[in-house]
Amino acid sequence: MMLGLISGDAVLSVLSIAGSVAIVYLMYRCVKKNGLPAIRNATIERFLKEIAGEKPIRFTAQHIWVLSSDVVLQALLVGEIFSGSI
């Protein structure tokens, strides 16, 4: 007889809260078991060292031509060129 007095919204709210609590608990167990080494060891210095160690990208003449022509075309569409305006 009590179920007739509980609205659908109240049931949905309780299920939503229970689901959220379950997700938070599972995340806590996972972090407790495995830790967060990637976040603990993440520093700006380490990031910059990794970037410095990467190989430079080599562009062909065709790549440079396409990239530079796109920049000039965009500048013309906007109505400005780097040395002045049209």
Tokens of 26: 């599972």
pLDDT at 1 over 50: no
pLDDT at 2 over 90: no
Q: Which of 50, 54, 70 is nearest to 62 (CA)?
A: 70
Distances in whole angstroms, Cα of residue 21 to Cα of each of 6, 8, 15, 30: 22, 20, 10, 14
Q: Which of 49, 32, 30 is nearest to 41 (CA)?
A: 49
Question: What integer pLDDT is reported at residue 24 of this predicted model?
Answer: 93
Question: What integer pLDDT is reported at residue 38 of this predicted model?
Answer: 63
Most confident of 5-14, 23-32, 62-71: 23-32
The model's pLDDT over 33-82, given as tens digits with 9 standing for 90+, comes to 877 766 666 778 888 888 888 887 788 888 877 777 776 666 666 655 55
